Structure 1
Amino acid sequence: MKWRFENPISIILTIIQPLIWLLLYGAMAEQSMQNLSGGNYTAFILPGIMMLVTLACCSSGGYLNFIMKSKGSFYRMLIAPVSRSSIVLGQMLEAVLLSLVEMSILLVVSMFLSVRIGTGFTGVLLIIFLIFISAFFMSGLSYAISLCLPNEVIYETIMNLIVLSIFFTSTALFSMNNISGGLKIAIIINPFTHVINCIRSLILGSTIEWQYLLFVIGAFLLLCCGSFILAVRRLKKEMIQ
């Protein structure tokens, strides 16, 4: 976390693209997409932009492994008397913290664009928690992937492919109502679709759909455990090699 805040340019770079999407794309599509969000398309796409921020932050977290390897600190860390799970958890939480910081920036900016959280303070807390578990899962996955690849160029290419695939096969920018066939199946099986839907209902709705919300939270808690275990196992394999 100290490294991240000593290099604030990394925070700026990951927030620029989502802000452009929120400000420019939201404004341009406002008139043609009014029926989706009661006249405020910015509020409609905000959950998707939040998810884009989260995915980008977690991807940059995995990139840190290559920086540490080039400087030798990664290998010194491996021989340190520290548990492997602590090493992984520390780096994952760094990506989660960055995601929450940038999400806060988006929320503040969106308020100037007339976006309001329909479910109030409870909704805000639930949005934060949904972003937390989404970032935790993705950061663990990114960490594991970074340890499987030989260099940062291949890692960046693969992560861009993963992030864009997740983003565009979700309901980040559009409603699923008029979609059918294989594309609809792809959107439904994308776990981030359901997080986006939950956040969107918390922003646009006035009541909380607890049954659906708890189902999504439960599913992501399982995914978080899986990605964390995978990341720890990959780190232990680095020690063997």
Structure 2
Amino acid sequence: MLNILWRNIKWRFQNPLSIIVTILQPLIWLVMYSAVAGQAMKKTGIGNYTAFILPGIVVLVTFSACSSGGIINFIMKSNGSFYRILIAPVKRKDVVLGQMLEAILVSFIEVTILFVISLLFSVRVGSGFLGVLLIILLIFLTAFFMSGLAYFISLLLPNEVIYETIMNAIVLPIFFLSTALFPPESLSGGLAIAVNLNPFTHIINSLRRIILGGELLIADILPVIILFTVMCLGSFMLAMWKLKKETLQ
């Protein structure tokens, strides 16, 4: 697992453009959108709109980093290394975990960059050290789920063009049908129901409560952690199942 992780990390840093591209759009959202929309959102009582949208941007950059991790499978297939790994004496779970952990590591690197930049906009974690630990846990669960899903989808599809199209079709609706950019109180009707059914809404709300210094209630955070733990196991099992099918072909 560590060998595969290190192999993918070397590829990533030999191709730093993959990191720049995946963090560029979220940075634009964080800096430019918060500056423009923040003026209008002051009427809703939101003081620091950059702090308000930071949780949603964190989730978006995690999506982007994990989605780009799936591209590695297509590169490995094109140069033949994917098939060499399949016949090597390596456990299938180590193959999957090694690649997933690389996407998770890149997610944390990019999230750290976001938090550092957000300091320039007076964003602070209001819940202290415990809040920081909870943020790390929630980001890890988000990245683990998305990296497993991206790995599974990348093995389903014939090329990276279709893969990127499918991932955008998944990621963008998830992002916009959440509370990433607007407070839940501004939503009503069927849209409010759709947003509440989106599991990432609850990740974003939890991160926002932690960053803004809201009261941390176990009854609010624990169900989100349990839900995403189950989702992580599900995406990992899907990735494992598809890789084993590749081995049998």
TM-score range, shorter chain: over 0.9
Give the alignment partner of residue 94 of structure 1, picking from 93, 102, 107.
102
Deviation at 1:35, TM superposition (A): 4.7
Q: Say if 1:165 and 1:38 are closer, same or farther in 2 by CA, change over 3 A.
A: closer
State whether structure 2 residue 23 is matched by structure 1 residue 25: no
Distance in 2, Cα, partners of 1:235 & 1:3: 21
Between 36-45 and 225-234, report the one with greater CA deviation.
36-45
Task: Give the corresponding residue for 2:200.
Answer: 192
Is the contact made by 1:95 and 1:135 (CA closer than 8 Å) also made in structure 2?
Answer: yes
State the one-letter code of the partner of 1:9: L
SS at match of 1:231: helix
Of 149, 154, 166 in structure 1, the residue corresponding to residue 174 of structure 2 is 166
SS at 1:81 equivalent: coil
- Which stretch has the larger CA shift, 49-58 or 173-182? 173-182
Deviates more, 1:7-16 or 1:163-172: 7-16
**2:184 match: secondary structure:** coil
Deviation by residue 1:185-240 (Cα, 9 ceiling, x = unmatched): 21111111100000000011243122111110011001001100110000000111
Look up the match of 1:237: 245
Alignment of 1:41-52 (within 5 A): 41-52=49-60
2:145 matched residue in structure 1 = 137
Deviation string, structure 1 residues 71-95 (Cα, Å, up to 9, x no partner): 1000001001001010000101111
TM-score, L = length of structure 2: 0.94
Post-superposition CA distance 1:160-209 (Å, at most 9, x none): 11110110011000011131222112111111110000000001124312
The AA in structure 2 aligned to 1:17 is Q
Q: 1:153 and 2:169 equivalent?
A: no
Specify the alignment match of 1:69 in structure 2: 77
Instruction: Report the aligned-residue RMSD.
Output: 1.1
Report what 2:227 is aligned to.
Answer: 219
Normalised by the length of structure 1, the TM-score is 0.97
Give the secondary-structure state (helix, strand or coil) at the position aligned to 1:30: helix
State the Cα deviation string for residues 35-75 of structure 1 (Å, max 9, x = none): 55641100000000000000001100111100110010000
Equivalent residues, number: 241
Structure 1: 5+ residue runs without aligned partners? none
Query: How high is the sequence identity, in percent, across the aligned residues?
Result: 64
Query: Residue 122 of structure 2 corresponds to which residue in structure 1?
Result: 114
Equivalent in the alignment of 1:209:
217
Structure 1 residues 37 and 112: alpha-carbon distance in aligned structure 2, compared to 1, 3 A threshold: farther
Note closer, same or farther for the CA distance 1:35–1:216 as it changes in structure 2 (3 Å cut): farther
C-alpha displacement of 1:122: 1.3
- Give the secondary structure class of the aligned counterpart of 2:23: helix
Instruction: State the 4+ residue runs in structure 1 displaced beyond 4 angstroms.
Output: none
Q: Is the 8 A contact 2:69 2:103 kept in 1?
A: yes
